[in-house]
Amino acid sequence: MGNNNRKRKKKSGFGMQRITATINTTMVLILLGLVLFFVFTAHNLSVYVRENINFSILISDDMKEADILKLQKEIDATSYVKSSEYISKEQALAEQTEALGSDPSEFLGRNPFTASLEIKLNSDYANVDSIAKIEKQLKKNTNIQDVLYKQELIDLVNENIRNITLVLLGLAALLTLISFALINNTIRLTIYAKRFTIHTMKLVGANWSFIRRPFLHQHVRNGILAAFFADCILAAGICWLLDFAPDLAQIITIELMITIWVLVMLFGILISYFCALISINRFLRMKENDLYLV
């Protein structure tokens, strides 16, 4: 009877250790998932901002509208253009009249504006060097009067994006190391409680791979379970955020969410596996006397 009670208490203790280890791993994976979320969101935000930086191509008055539309199609076919919009002289005058509250053509006696193409670039080309090359290429067309863009704004946007990206990547690397250390410590304590069982299995002749197998399977299962819980919590948080601010759907995409969920699951499995492997090997290498000293 007493032996049965001791066995139940032992199993209960090991069960609580597994639950605690799973909870601890879940919390760490949530933290890691949040870091991944901020890194990928920052990347998507940088792409969104760059692709909304535009420049204007001013068209000569001698060019007919049909030729302008043909030129627009040619520009749209290039690799650097995300989208373009044709603004006629009349449309430009109407927009400025609305903005200024008066019609400039009334006191000038003519429409002072020219037709233009408003170009939005793909994010890879939204930098001053690329735009300078694009400008040089476009100006080979004699019907293009000028190419206008805000160099200071583009430089400022790219510099800020670069600085934010470096900070987030550094933070991600640091928290990845911290996450590994925390999960490793949690798993090590769980295996520590079974160090004498490991030693007993060695004494009866079990080889190391046989001893390792159940521990690795157990901790990989715990890692999968912890990653599943972490993914559920992260999904609930992201859904709440999108419900609170629907405009963020342009940045927080389905692809981003799936990528984070998959990476959290992979981290949960891989970190649990390697931490368990390191801890088990440590105790397998120990002699009996050393087990009492750790």
pLDDT mean by block of 10 residues, the chain; 294 residues: 46 60 84 88 84 84 84 88 86 77 70 83 84 85 82 80 83 80 79 76 78 85 91 92 85 89 92 86 72 58
Same domain membership, residue 170 and residue 42: yes
CB 135 within 8 A of CB 54: no
Same domain membership, residue 285 and residue 214: yes
Same domain membership, residue 236 and residue 166: yes
The amino acid at residue 284 is L
User: What's 118's domain CATH number?
Assistant: 3.30.70.3040
With CA atoms as reference, report the closest residue to 223 among 37, 29, 13: 29
pLDDT at 15: 58
User: Of 148, 173, 192, which one is at a domain's C-terminal end?
Assistant: 148
Same domain membership, residue 283 and residue 208: yes
Number of folded domains that form the chain? 2
Same domain membership, residue 29 and residue 60: no
Q: What distance in Å separates the CA atoms of residue 71 and residue 274, rounded to the nearest whole number?
A: 58
pLDDT at 276: 85
Same domain membership, residue 284 and residue 187: yes
Same domain membership, residue 87 and residue 18: no
pLDDT at 274: 87
pLDDT at 125: 85
Same domain membership, residue 200 and residue 126: no
Helix runs in the chain, H state only: 2-51, 65-76, 89-100, 104-108, 128-138, 151-192, 195-203, 208-244, 254-285, 288-291
CB 53 within 8 A of CB 157: yes
- Beta-carbon neighbour count of residue 10 at 10 Å? 11
**Domain span at residue 194?**
2-48+157-291
User: Of 148, 180, 211, which one is at a domain's C-terminal end?
Assistant: 148
User: Of 128, 148, 168, which one is at a domain's C-terminal end?
Assistant: 148
Same domain membership, residue 165 and residue 37: yes
Confirm whether pTM is higher than 0.85: no
pLDDT at 230: 93
With CA atoms as reference, report the closest residue to 198 among 80, 291, 102, 92: 291
